[in-house]
Structure 1
Amino acid sequence: MVSPFVFLAHRSLLDQHAAHGEIRTWLANQGECRDVRYVPSSIRRHEVRATIDPEVLLGEPHPPETVDLRVAFDVPEDADYDHYEIQWIDGERNYSFGWHQDGTHPDLGECHFQLDYRDETITREPAVFHDSHPVNVLEQRLSLVPSILEVVTWDDNRPRLSRWPPLDV
């Protein structure tokens, strides 16, 4: 009998439902995450959302007290690679940033980083392409959040990137 772990670790056997299940399980086991849930429902898993305590993730106080994390993976049959969006959302200041690997901006490569404020995209920058298991991609991207937060500055109450790239983003 094949164990479920081996089945899910083999990327070619993943679908959106299984990927979101693995992501939800992983996030639920992280100390900085709470209220980990499927959206819109556990049956129709279009994305996974979690409330994050930045102080626990960063190891020091950082405003706001909580942020939201939105993760959506898709495994399109007609694409050469998985598609995803991993978005860090600061609702208090109405801005977000994240990585989008979806083919919507081919001029930036397979993956790009995006900074949004209110309903406007402030900037898009090329990002390193990661072709690995969705949980590994999520873990890699979350490890970059501290370096991203260091380069997000505010001018006239609008976020911007003070430099790019901050690390191997």
Structure 2
Amino acid sequence: MNSGAENPALYRVLKDVLERQAGVTSVRFEPDAIQKQYLAAAIDSQRVVPPTGPKLPQLEVHWKLTPPHDEFRIDYADPNSRFHCGWHHDEDHNDLGAAHFQYQTASKEAPEYERVVLEAASPPKLLWECCDELFENVIPDYTAEP
């Protein structure tokens, strides 16, 4: 991500959004509560559909205030299934537009990228929208047995 400023007040609001997700067991500031460079949420592997193994999946949220448009990364990783995905609003894949979704399964050697249009405008609503999509559609659809 490009340079920009982390906003401790925004991270407190985003932490609240994560704590309201049914599968989230804990949320912490990283590297610590003073610096607040990003959020890390532990996910109950038995609450996702389909349930995975004993290790806890993790959801990380990085948000930088970079006028005129914030940059963010909302990344999910499950060490049990080796599934990784995320929504990114940055300059890494300009060919896909302002935001993209990327994912990688255990059977793929490289991530795949898709253009995405997010409907929400505010950071808390964007995070909520991505979490809804993650738990309701992405994990079940992308990790289902063939």
Same fold, TM-score > 0.5, yes or no: yes
Which of 25, 47, 61 is the matching residue for 1:34? 25
Q: Does 1:90 align with 2:78?
A: yes
Which of 39, 64, 78 is the matching residue for 1:74? 64
- TM-score normalised to the size of structure 2? 0.79
For 1:152 and 1:31, how far apart are their aligned partners in 2?
Answer: 20
Identity %: 24
Partner in structure 2 of residue 4 of structure 1: none
Q: Does 1:23 align with 2:14?
A: yes
SS of the aligned residue for 2:104 comes to strand
**Farther-moved stretch of structure 1 (21-30 vs 137-146):** 21-30
Partner in structure 2 of residue 144 of structure 1: 133
> Which stretches of structure 1, 4 residues or more, deviate above 6 A after TM superposition?
none
- Figure out how many residues of one structure are paired with residues of the other and give that number: 139
Partner in structure 2 of residue 158 of structure 1: none
Any gaps of 5 or more consecutive residues in structure 1?
A: 1-13, 156-161, 163-169
Partner in structure 2 of residue 47 of structure 1: 38
Partner in structure 2 of residue 135 of structure 1: 124
Measured after TM superposition, the shift of residue 69 of structure 1 is: 0.7
Structure 1 residues 31, 150: CA separation in 2 closer, same or farther (over 3 Å shift)?
A: closer
Structure with max Cα Rg: 1
Measured after TM superposition, the shift of residue 31 of structure 1 is: 3.9
Higher relative contact order (CA 8 A, sep 6+): 2
Which of 63, 74, 89 is the matching residue for 2:52? 63
Structure 1 residues 91, 106: CA separation in 2 closer, same or farther (over 3 Å shift)?
A: same
Aligned ranges for residues 93-104 of structure 1 at < 5 Å?
93-104=81-92
Paired letter, 1:124: Y
Q: Does 1:110 align with 2:98?
A: yes
Paired letter, 1:98: G
- TM-score normalised to the size of structure 1? 0.69
The structure where strand makes up a greater share of residues is 1
Measured after TM superposition, the shift of residue 71 of structure 1 is: 0.7
